[in-house]
Amino acid sequence: MFLFLTVVQALIAAALVAVVLMQQSEGGGLGVGGSPSGLMSARGAANFMTRATGILAALFVALSIVLAALAVDQTTGRDIDTSLQRNTAPVQPADPLAGSAGQGAANADNAAPAGQAPAADPLSGAAKQ
């Protein structure tokens, strides 16, 4: 039902745009000029276009309200979809100087003896653990 009404609204919108563009404006614009030898006189065409514009506009607004009400009824009670939720935990940057295999012996040599504070790291200015 919702899809059908959406298609009907798209057709009404296209017809409304066409009717508005066909109207003769004061400046000439995109209006289709009416000739007295045509099926309708210029005055009759203007009245028809004005009525058609009003009717199509009223249908468009009414259908918009109906579609909004249907959309609220269809989406009520749904849970929030978290399938695309990103991990918000802060990522700790890896220390490029710590943890490499070749530095294990060097770190053991620089370890502070028991009872003393660890020496300061010359690169970061912080005490080594």
Any idea where the domains of the chain sit in the sequence?
47-75
> Whole-model pTM?
0.47
Q: By the 8 A CB rule, do 70 and 16 touch?
A: no
Range with lowest mean pLDDT among 7-21, 46-60, 110-124 = 110-124
Q: Provide the pLDDT confidence category of residue 42 given band limits of 50, 70 and 90.
A: low
